[in-house]
Amino acid sequence: MGWVTIEALSVSYGDTRVLDDVSLHIPRGSLVAVLGPSGCGKTTLLRAVAGLLPVDSGTITVGGRLVTGPGVLRAPEKRGMGWVPQDASLFPHLSVGENIGFGLPRSKQNDDLYCEPGETSGGVGGLLAGLTRRGRANRARPVSVLAGTAAHANPLTAVPISPDRGRQTSRAARIAELATLVGLAELVDRAPSQLSGGQAQRVSLARALAPRPDLILLDEPFAALDPLLRSALRTEVAALLRGQHNTSVIVTHDQEEALSLADFVAVMRGGKILQFGTPADVYERPVDPWVAGFVGDTVELDGQWRDGRVECALGSLPADWMGAASAPADGTPVFVLLRPEWLTLAMPSTEQQTDAVTTAIAYAGHDALVSFALPAGLIVRARVAAPDLPRIGDRLTLGVRQNALAYPLGE
């Protein structure tokens, strides 16, 4: 069982079924990427977890608490989750600091709203465990998630005189702490309109982190940024989320983002989860050719299964059978799949390996995708590191350094 457990979840908009029997188990403290093409239902899944939309059937539990289920639809404000939307969505009428502090209780009467005992893991009170009413209420709960924040908490515990005063102090301190965490300490008094896209997205993240949510949900948070900024920011955000020991779900349609950021990747298509596994699993052992093509470049060939090997245009290669049933009979036609970087180049030799002619090079600086024409007329592409690039017209021998993947035909 995971920290977040989604069982048999279905959601429809009118007559269209957007999520179809989705189940997902998210381990505590992990960063999970939900990857899929647009319209596959990944944002709907996230909104269902957040409680922002009703579901047809299925259950969602977080930390053992049922938040969505038959007859249960806990209001989003009572779920203790953080939400980072695609476009940052900062409140334009509040300063950066006030945006970050939006979810932090302001005064006593607001307190219950945010801090139903047991609602949020840690929370502001967790920072001052034992010193505030809420802190005491929360102390009973496991606070292992707070281990990572102890360093931040230490300087703050000295101040409070009364619980309320303490809360005020902690609110301001928490805002300052998060502003520093996302590297925008000097911008807390700015208006959101004065921020760049990347800065706005950081504030949005800080705002979501401030109340110490059980679970952070990020809805394509980097999609609106330009590519250079995107890759820089996502590394930073991933480090930050891991540093906070948060459980996070990030929705994205960018496979590079999903593979580079996440501990686990869930690949979605047409309202279903096709594969859930580590990035390496998903990339190197995709469950079907569609997943393989969606998460990366492929080399696709027709072949025949023969005793743990496939015979194809690249010769007889050792292969793994990826079909549901056990390995097929010898001679069965199969669909052979490789990654371009699994191909190796060598000077032509007399051994039985395949000779290929270089026909095109798509240069990308660090490496290149090189197209080769095989004797049979097929074109395959190999990823070649830049220093080893052949020239067009060069005749080379292709080898394969990893087991090929064999899939049943007709998928």
Residues that bind other proteins (CB under 8 A): 13, 38-39, 43, 47, 50-54, 75-79, 81-83, 85-87, 89, 91-93, 102-103, 113-114, 193, 204, 207-208, 211, 217
Is 286 exposed, middle or buried, given 0-12, 13-18 or 19+ CB atoms closer than 10 A?
buried
Distance CA 238, CA 404 (A): 32
Instruction: Please state the closest distance from residue 38 (CB atom) to other proteins, in A.
Output: 8
Instruction: Please state the closest distance from residue 9 (CB atom) to other proteins, in A.
Output: 16
Instruction: Please state the closest distance from residue 284 (CB atom) to other proteins, in A.
Output: 32
Instruction: Please state the closest distance from residue 113 (CB atom) to other proteins, in A.
Output: 6
**Residue among 198 and 211 whose Cβ is closer to other proteins:** 211
Distance CA 410, CA 14 (A): 32
**Contacts of residue 367, Cβ cutoff 8 Å, sequence gap at least 6:** 383, 384, 385, 386
Instruction: Please state the closest distance from residue 249 (CB atom) to other proteins, in A.
Output: 13
**Residue among 43 and 61 whose Cβ is closer to other proteins:** 43
- Residue entry with tokens 């990035």: 279
The number of beta carbons lying within 10 Å of the beta carbon of residue 14 is 6
Instruction: Please state the closest distance from residue 271 (CB atom) to other proteins, in A.
Output: 13
Spell 51-85 as b/e; 16+ CB within 10 A means b.
bebebeebbbbbbeeebbbeeeebebeebbbbbbb
Is 375 exposed, middle or buried, given 0-12, 13-18 or 19+ CB atoms closer than 10 A?
exposed
Helices vs. strands in the chain: H and E counts, helices first: 12, 21
Give DSSP secondary structure letters for 364-400. -SSEEEEEEE-TTS-EEEEEEEGGG---TT-EEEEEE
**Residue among 84 and 336 whose Cβ is closer to other proteins:** 84
DSSP 77: G
Instruction: Please state the closest distance from residue 119 (CB atom) to other proteins, in A.
Output: 9
**Residue among 214 and 367 whose Cβ is closer to other proteins:** 214
For 104, half-sphere exposure in the C-beta direction (CA atoms, 13 angstrom radius) is 26
- Determine which helix (DSSP H) or strand (DSSP E) holds 219, and give its type and residue range: strand 215-219
**Residue among 193 and 352 whose Cβ is closer to other proteins:** 193
Give CA separation, 162 vs 12, 24, 158, 174, 204, in Å: 50, 44, 12, 17, 31
Task: List strand residue ranges (DSSP E) for 64-144, in order.
Answer: 65-69, 72-73, 81-84
Q: Is 142 helix (H, G, I), strand (E, B) or coil?
A: coil
Q: How many residues does the chain have?
A: 411
**Residue among 18 and 319 whose Cβ is closer to other proteins:** 18
Instruction: Please state the closest distance from residue 67 (CB atom) to other proteins, in A.
Output: 13
For 191, half-sphere exposure in the C-beta direction (CA atoms, 13 angstrom radius) is 4
Closest CA to 200 of 231, 173, 221, 217: 221
**Residue among 206 and 345 whose Cβ is closer to other proteins:** 206
Give CA separation, 110 vs 50, 123, 214, 335, in Å: 21, 14, 20, 61
**Residue among 184 and 345 whose Cβ is closer to other proteins:** 184
**Residue among 120 and 358 whose Cβ is closer to other proteins:** 120
Instruction: Please state the closest distance from residue 8 (CB atom) to other proteins, in A.
Output: 21
Instruction: Please state the closest distance from residue 201 (CB atom) to other proteins, in A.
Output: 13
**Residue among 123 and 289 whose Cβ is closer to other proteins:** 123
